[in-house]
Amino acid sequence: MQSSSAVPQLVDPFGRAISYVRVSVTDRCDFRCVYCMSEDMSFLPKKDLLTLEELDRLIGAFTTLGTRRVRLTGGEPLVRRNVMSLIASLGERIKADQLDEVTLTTNGSQLARFAEDLYANGVRRINVSVDTLDPDKFKAVTRWGDLGKVLDGIDAALAAGLKVKLNAVALRDVNEHEFNDLIRFAHGRGMDLTLIETMPLGDIDGDRTDQYLPLSTVRQRLSRDWTMDEIDYRTGGPARYVRVAETGGRLGFITPMTHNFCESCNRVRVTCTGTLYMCLGQDDAADLRKALRASEGDAPVIAAIREAISRKPKGHDFIIDRGVTAPAVKRHMSVTGG
Ligand code: SAM
Ligand code: SF4
């Protein structure tokens, strides 16, 4: 069933149709990536979280308003207890044609355990974050991660039939000389690779200016070794893709800093407490948990979503510069979800 034509669909003040929701199912994580979190994080009390049933109901309300794609993220979505029951419910929504797809962004640590269940419950594409293929560097970047486990997880995902895209955050002095290896690794296994610029979200231990590596620089360097042909391929996200002629694989660039892509933004983000952020890079938000719990019917939550979308801002104003010490927004990426 397509979303009911009787219910007007979500269009923001800038004429952008909102059809994509990213849901952070937990702010917790079994890694502490240096660009994402500080080592000593305090997390939300469990009592503040929406239950998995409430998350499913909330996503149902979004589908009534025309949402066709959902990406589960976090924190690490696969560390939320019993998350597969939510994924199974969303799989039923795909079968009922309320959704086109459910995808997942994961650090891969639990994938070996969950890959087959993901496929069985209707997930077909996942993003796995791998910034480096050097085990020591991987440990240094993630603080707590084990590269071997993540690579096993990727193998399990591919064996289960999932389409896997690798995401790597471009980090000065960390992985900046590894992109050729990452391209060979990903494309050699039939996976797309997307490079991402660091965004100034939340306090981390350290200075983001030291980490930040503009992808304009990376692309220039890559062009010495690879033939990159612009292609029209889109996955509904902000990445712009090229085809690497030598490998035949796709390489994406997500450039919130050097090339703002807000004009085509089709998405909003919901946290595990039911807070709706209309923009990753702005503070304005709406409390959907209150609306959800106000009634067994969905009318209040649908009204709250509509009201919030009428406030969706034009875009973010990220700056990473020596003179700017505070992050653009205080919350970490793990709260709003990547
Ligand atoms: N834990 C999962 C993972 O790492 O894939 C999902 C959540 S994580 C917040 C989603 C994505 O955001 C990851 O690819 C991660 O590398 C990226 N990320 C985290 N903090 C970031 C930041 N400050 N700037 C840019 N990307 C960031
Ligand atoms: Fe965890 Fe993902 Fe953030 Fe790394 S990027 S700390 S894996 S939420």
pLDDT in tens, 141-153: 999 999 999 999 9
pLDDT of residue 322: 60
333 close to ligand 1 (CB < 6 Angstrom): yes
**Spatial distance between the Cα atoms of 55 and 260, rounded to a whole number of angstroms:** 30
Mean pLDDT of the chain: 91
Instruction: Inform me whether the pLDDT recorded for 326 exceeds 70.
Output: no
Summarised one tens digit per residue, pLDDT across range 180-227 is 999 999 999 999 999 999 888 777 777 777 788 999 999 999 999 999
Whether residue 202 has its Cβ less than 6 Å from ligand 2: no
Question: Spelled out in words, what is the top-level CATH class assigned to the domain 4-165+265-336?
Answer: alpha beta
Residue 76, ligand 2, Cβ within 6 A: yes
Query: Going by CA atoms, what residue is nearest to atom 17 of ligand 1?
Result: 338
Q: Which ligand 2 atom is the nearest neighbour of the CA of 109?
A: 7
Report in angstroms the alpha-carbon separations of 18 from 139, 288, 311, 333.
38, 17, 13, 21
Q: State if residue 27 touches ligand 1 by the CB under 6 angstroms criterion.
A: no
Q: Give per-residue pLDDT as tens, 291-301.
A: 999 999 999 99
